[in-house]
Amino acid sequence: MLDTVIRGGTLIDGSGAERREADVGIRDGRIEAVGEISEAARAEIDAGGHIVAPGFVDIHTHYDAQAFWDSMLSPSPFHGVTTVVGGNCGFSIAPLAPGAGEYLMKMLSRVEGMPLESLREGVPWDWTSFSEYLDRLEGKLAVNAGFMVGHSALRRSVMGEAASGGAASTEDVAAMQALLAESLAGGGLGFSSSWARTHNDGAGKPVPSRAADRDEILALCRTTGEFPGTSLEFIPTIGPFAEEHCEIMAEMSLAAGRALNWNVLVAQTMGREIWEGQLAASDYATERGARVLALTPPLVMEVRLNFVSGFVLDAFPGWADLFGLPLDERKKRLADPSERERLDASANSEEAGVFRALAQWENISIAETFSESTKRFEGRRIGEIAKETGKKPFDAMLDIVLEDDLRTSLQPASYGHDDESWKIREEIWRDPRSVIGASDAGAHLDMINTFVYTTALLEAVRERGLLSLEEAVHQLTQVPAELYGLHERGRLAEGFCADVTIFDADRVAPTPLYTRHDLPAGASRLYADAIGVENVLVNGCEIVRGGEATGASPGTILRSGRDTETVGIPGRAST
């Protein structure tokens, strides 16, 4: 007898093949049969009128801390995701040297927008090795989850306070290599790092990985290549690529003998020269025998900024120190007319580069406020408010921010809603130099909407006729699964793990964003529900039924070499 049969659905198996009518039989967490199934089962799921697809695979998340207080890793599984990869951008929370937890907490709060009070209350911070960290999560999660080994965690563990700015000695690099090797042997899925100038720690200083030179990074990539089933992830910069960025990514790929994916390529009619140059990094790598891929989100990114976390705002020249101050001192600085003049001038300077577009304060809207006196400003543009009050736009904005105790959610004007931008995205989705993803789920909890990318893509396919549904499912499942060598996941085929998403193709979509107060210590986050995702199974067990959580935790903690296979560079021998 089978454990479960999914009957009456339309199967899209993840391979890109045409849909067909087929039942799916499950036994012991794996797909036993696909086709017309007469065998009885202990449980049956009626999928009539719905699509039966592999569970979606999200390779760029930051659920490393949330895993301790939210076994569902919400909202991802409600949007059809059954497998996630964390530890990206160099920001894993293991290995953990004694006393390093406080630093990593403040770093994550600043650079990844996770409320500090939630990190303090919700995470134990009492492991040391990477394998101990994974062991703490084993059997606790609803979805499958694997984690990269982050460069900043490695550097902090080896170099202590010197990690945030000091050059690594030969001995330091050797110690990092040894710690990385131990972490990969303990199950880490690979190595991640960042040179992004937006990545600053709790004190406003560059995160540790930003102090690493080329030789240090390549040494760690060589260590990564010594372990089977490992991968690379990197953020070279924010904005246009210089040759040094193309060069370091190609060299990283060659040093490890692995593909490298970088975050994030935002494609639209505006800034064409930027994303075309970024895509060309893949050509640069290919010409040198390496493999470099861009992660690209399949939606118009909604961004919200605030003066509490300061993320992105701290990329303006001369602004980083402001966000290293305690909130009371920060408010005093923001109330000072001379300081306002300095901040405004630097944000609009040539040195601000691509971030200068954000300094068009009049085009920013007030997305959400958090006091009775500021509620009247919600949904209005700063330019309108400035004209009404007779103030300069920057002053009008900061006056509201101060009145709102810095918590005001500011929404820059978003671009890329036009038909031509959607056509560009469709072309990039099909481009072998890119992979759909870049959700950042679990991070920037007060800032972005990209965690809905799976249902957003399916909605775009339906509403705009972009891709076929079969292509979209293929891009959400088999493509990322094969990039990371996930063993027997990403397709619905006999013998594969029974990770399944059942959805209504005529309705599937994300809801609008809203604020939800459900984090430890009463903190809040931006959230969006899913429409039309009816059932989600992980390893054959339902974790979502009728759009609601079942409470089951059947997820596997993915470990390199055991749950992953080596995906090398085409034409090169691999470990």
Distance CA 142, CA 367 (A): 32
- The predicted-structure confidence for 264-291, as pLDDT tens digits, reads as follows 999 999 889 999 999 999 999 999 999 9
Is the bond leading into 95 cis (omega within 30 degrees of zero)?
A: yes
Mean pLDDT of the chain: 96
Looking at residue 299, its pLDDT comes to 96
- The predicted-structure confidence for 3-24, as pLDDT tens digits, reads as follows 999 999 999 999 999 999 999 9
Looking at residue 575, its pLDDT comes to 53
Distances (CA, A) of 477 to 13, 392, 488, 552: 9, 49, 11, 22
Element (H, E) at 411: strand 409-411
- The predicted-structure confidence for 527-536, as pLDDT tens digits, reads as follows 999 999 999 9
Q: How far out from the chain centre does Cα 343 lie?
A: 30
Query: Which among 360, 371, 369 has a CA at the least distance from the CA of 394?
Result: 360
pLDDT tier for residue 354 given thresholds of 50, 70 and 90? confident
- The predicted-structure confidence for 290-325, as pLDDT tens digits, reads as follows 999 999 999 999 889 999 988 889 889 999 899 989
How do beta strands 514-516 and 525-527 pair?
antiparallel
Instruction: State whether residue 84 is helix, strand or coil.
Output: strand
pLDDT tier for residue 573 given thresholds of 50, 70 and 90? low
Distance CA 36, CA 24 (A): 8
Question: 253 and 214 in contact (C-beta within 8 Å)?
Answer: no
Tokens of 451: 């965690």
Instruction: State whether residue 81 is helix, strand or coil.
Output: strand
Looking at residue 570, its pLDDT comes to 87
Number of other residues whose CB lies within 10 A of the CB of residue 169: 12
- The predicted-structure confidence for 127-155, as pLDDT tens digits, reads as follows 999 999 999 999 999 999 999 999 999 99
Distance CA 401, CA 357 (A): 20
Q: Which residues contact 69 (CB under 8 A, 6 or more apart)?
A: 118, 122, 123, 519, 520
Distance CA 381, CA 244 (A): 39
**Maximum C-alpha span of the chain:** 78
Dihedral pair phi/psi, residue 347, rounded to 5°: -65, -25
β-partners of residue 86 are: 147
Query: Which among 399, 464, 393 has a CA at the least distance from the CA of 429?
Result: 464
Distance CA 363, CA 360 (A): 6
Distance CA 511, CA 280 (A): 35
Secondary structure string (H, E, C) spanning 128-176 = CCHHHHHHHHCCCCCCEEEECEEHHHHHHHHHHHHHHCCCCCHHHHHHH
Looking at residue 259, its pLDDT comes to 98
Distance CA 104, CA 127 (A): 13
Question: 361 and 395 in contact (C-beta within 8 Å)?
Answer: no
Q: How far out from the chain centre does Cα 461 lie?
A: 22
Distance CA 329, CA 339 (A): 12
How do beta strands 434-436 and 292-296 pair?
parallel
Burial call 266-293: b when 16+ CB within 10 Å, e when fewer: bbbeebeebbebbbebbebbbeeebbbb
In order of their start, the domains of the chain are 56-303+415-488 (3.20.20.140), 313-411 (no CATH)
Looking at residue 574, its pLDDT comes to 56
Query: Which among 297, 229, 293, 225 has a CA at the least distance from the CA of 260?
Result: 293
Distance CA 537, CA 21 (A): 19
The one-letter code for the residue type at 543 is: I
- Provide the edge-to-edge strand list for the sheet that holds 51-54: 20-21, 10-11, 51-54, 500-503, 533-538, 541-545, 548-549
Secondary structure string (H, E, C) spanning 437-465 = CCCCECCCCCCECHHHHHHHHHHHHHHHC
β-partners of residue 398 are: none
Question: 326 and 116 in contact (C-beta within 8 Å)?
Answer: no
Is the pTM higher than 0.85? The answer reads yes
Q: Which residues contact 424 (CB under 8 A, 6 or more apart)?
A: 267, 268, 269, 272
Distance CA 180, CA 94 (A): 10
What angle separates helix 151-159 from helix 101-111, to the nearest 10 degrees? 150
Looking at residue 571, its pLDDT comes to 74
Distance CA 501, CA 82 (A): 8
* Rounded average pLDDT over 446-459: 96
Question: 63 and 445 in contact (C-beta within 8 Å)?
Answer: no
Report how far apart the first and last C-alpha atoms of the chain are (Å, whole number).
41
- The predicted-structure confidence for 476-495, as pLDDT tens digits, reads as follows 999 999 999 999 999 999 99
Q: What percentage of the chain carries pLDDT values higher than 70?
A: 99
The lowest-confidence range among 5-9, 219-223, 411-415 is: 411-415
Q: Which residues contact 225 (CB under 8 A, 6 or more apart)?
A: 255, 256, 257, 258, 575
Question: 98 and 156 in contact (C-beta within 8 Å)?
Answer: no
Query: Which among 45, 135, 130, 131 has a CA at the least distance from the CA of 503?
Result: 45
